[in-house]
Amino acid sequence: MKKTLGAKDILFPIPIALVVSGNGDNANIISIAWIGITGSNPPSIGISLKKNRYSLDLIRQTGEFTINIPSTNDMVKTDYCGLVSGKNVNKFDETNFTALKSHKVKTPIIKECPYNIECKVIKEVEIGDWVLVIGEIVETHVDEDKIENNKISIEKVNPLVYVPTIREYWSIGKLLGKSFNVGKKMINK
Ligand SMILES: Cc1cc2nc3c(=O)[nH]c(=O)nc-3n(C[C@H](O)[C@H](O)[C@H](O)COP(=O)(O)O)c2cc1C
């Protein structure tokens, strides 16, 4: 038997990202759970923001944003950035997050986040009270010490994971297998 749960906030687990908008003294941070890859060529990613978000104004002003994946160590700061608005506080000052220069956009990345993505806006889609902002990914960064045997160590990145259905933060589990690979044994049997 299955129990119906309704249609709200139902997909899980998903990443939780810190999205930076603006630049210089105006740089702002917002916590974003509505995020996902939208295509591979060009590489693109979508973030959905409620229309009244200060971050949306800043993204529209500059046409760019950065996505920063926090580790579990920064859970409290990540939640904080989702509780207060950059209209009222400077979230870089309050969190002590460090704004690092990006390579291809003026909006900074967050040094303390192990994985960072630079984006230039290519499209906006209105969905009710929300705006899906799609950005072309123009650069990505990972901390050097999170690379092991020439690949990103997910254990070291230790990304914060979100379960919106029950409003909980989790950590990632253990490696189970390689994609585009483990299923092959069902083709070749
Ligand atoms: C876990 C979590 C996830 C969130 N996800 C989103 C989201 O995907 N889109 C959005 O517009 N707001 C989201 N929010 C709310 C914003 O982060 C929050 O309203 C923030 O204060 C807005 O900041 P700003 O006014 O500086 O832009 C989320 C908040 C939390 C705590």
Domain architecture of the chain: domains with CATH? 14-187 (2.30.110.10)
Tell me, in angstroms, the distance from the centre of ligand 1 to residue 173's CA. 25
**pLDDT confidence of residue 7:** 87
* Termini Cα distance of the chain: 33
SS3 label, residue 129: coil
Tell me, in angstroms, the distance from the centre of ligand 1 to residue 154's CA. 25
Residue 21 Cβ inside 6 Å of ligand 1? The answer reads no
Residue 55 Cβ inside 6 Å of ligand 1? The answer reads yes
The closest-lying atom of ligand 1 relative to the alpha carbon of residue 35 is 8
Tell me, in angstroms, the distance from the centre of ligand 1 to residue 2's CA. 31
Tell me, in angstroms, the distance from the centre of ligand 1 to residue 183's CA. 37
The closest-lying atom of ligand 1 relative to the alpha carbon of residue 31 is 17
pTM: 0.97
Q: How far is CA 99 from the centre of its chain?
A: 16
- The H or E element spanning position 79 is helix 75-81
DSSP codes of every residue in 83-121: TS-TTT--HHHHHTPPEE--SSSSSPEETTSSEEEEEEE
Low-confidence ranges of the chain (pLDDT < 70): none
The closest-lying atom of ligand 1 relative to the alpha carbon of residue 58 is 27
Phi, psi of 119 (to 5 degrees): -135, 145
pLDDT for 146-176, tens place per residue? 999 999 999 999 999 999 999 999 999 999 9
**pLDDT confidence of residue 73:** 98
Residue 31 Cβ inside 6 Å of ligand 1? The answer reads yes
**pLDDT confidence of residue 10:** 85
